[in-house]
Amino acid sequence: MTSIAVIGHTATTDPSFSLNDLAGGAGRMDVLCRCVNASLFLSHNLRRDTECTLVLQGKPENMKTIRFSGSSVRSLNPDEKSPAALIKKALAIPCGSEFREAAPGVAVRNAGLSRLLAEGGYAILDEHGTDIRKAGALPPAFLLSDHLSFTPDEEALFAGCPRFSVGPSVLHADHAVIILLNELDRRAAGWS
């Protein structure tokens, strides 16, 4: 199982956001939607062994976590609106501190980054890490940020975690996910 987690610093926790204004009113929800699709899509197939967890830190609640599981998600298409519609569904149901399923393969809980990191095992994906190609064994879980840098408080939360980089250019979050998964695919298939 591979886990990708993405912090959405401004992504709204209000389910009334418009599917036609993901980049604006929804607080760059478009970035998170592209990360879901980068994590789960193969050509004409899904990565059934991968999950993508979104940590939404936007208003009004500043803290919700939504998890897409490739093993069981349904009705997911590769355009941005498709995961966005599932995010709306997840935000619309009441939930507590444990994951509650909002749709097949999509679950939501009222918790944020510190809870996720306390569950352990995450490495950080950013430009300051070790080159993934040159790294020894890679961990199964990676955390990255949306279009904004990690905050000092976030950096403090994962201070001891290993860090990896996907290449010499600083990329969009979803593009970094694609390159990471390619490296994992290659290792699994003996292509490296």
**Quick one: 22 or 107, whose CB is closer to a second copy?**
22
38 touching a second copy, by CB under 8 A: yes
* Rounded Cα–Cα distance for residues 113 and 106 (Å): 18
* Rounded Cα–Cα distance for residues 63 and 58 (Å): 7
| Cβ-proximal residues to 190 (8 Å cutoff; 6+ apart), any chain | none
Identify residues 91-130 at the interface with a second copy (CB under 8 A): none
From the list 1, 23, 92, 93, which residue makes contact with a second copy (rule: CB under 8 A)? 23
For the bound state, the minimum distance from the C-beta of residue 130 to a second copy, rounded and expressed in Å, comes to 12
From the list 13, 57, 80, 124, which residue makes contact with a second copy (rule: CB under 8 A)? 80
166 touching a second copy, by CB under 8 A: yes
For the bound state, the minimum distance from the C-beta of residue 69 to a second copy, rounded and expressed in Å, comes to 19
CA–CA–CA angle 158, 130, 134 (5° rounding): 140
159 touching a second copy, by CB under 8 A: no
147 touching a second copy, by CB under 8 A: yes
Assigned token pair, 124: 């950080």
DSSP 152-189: HHHHHHTTTS-EEE--SS---HHHHHHHHHHHHHHHHH
C-alpha separations of 10 from 57, 62, 64 in Å: 6, 8, 12
* Rounded Cα–Cα distance for residues 172 and 167 (Å): 12
Piece of the chain touching a second copy by CB under 8 A; list 2-10, 67-75, 76-84, 116-124: 76-84
**Quick one: 1 or 23, whose CB is closer to a second copy?**
23
Which positions lie near a second copy, rule CB under 8 A? 20, 22-23, 30-31, 34, 38, 41-45, 77-80, 131, 133, 147, 166-172, 175, 178-179, 182, 185-186, 188-189, 191
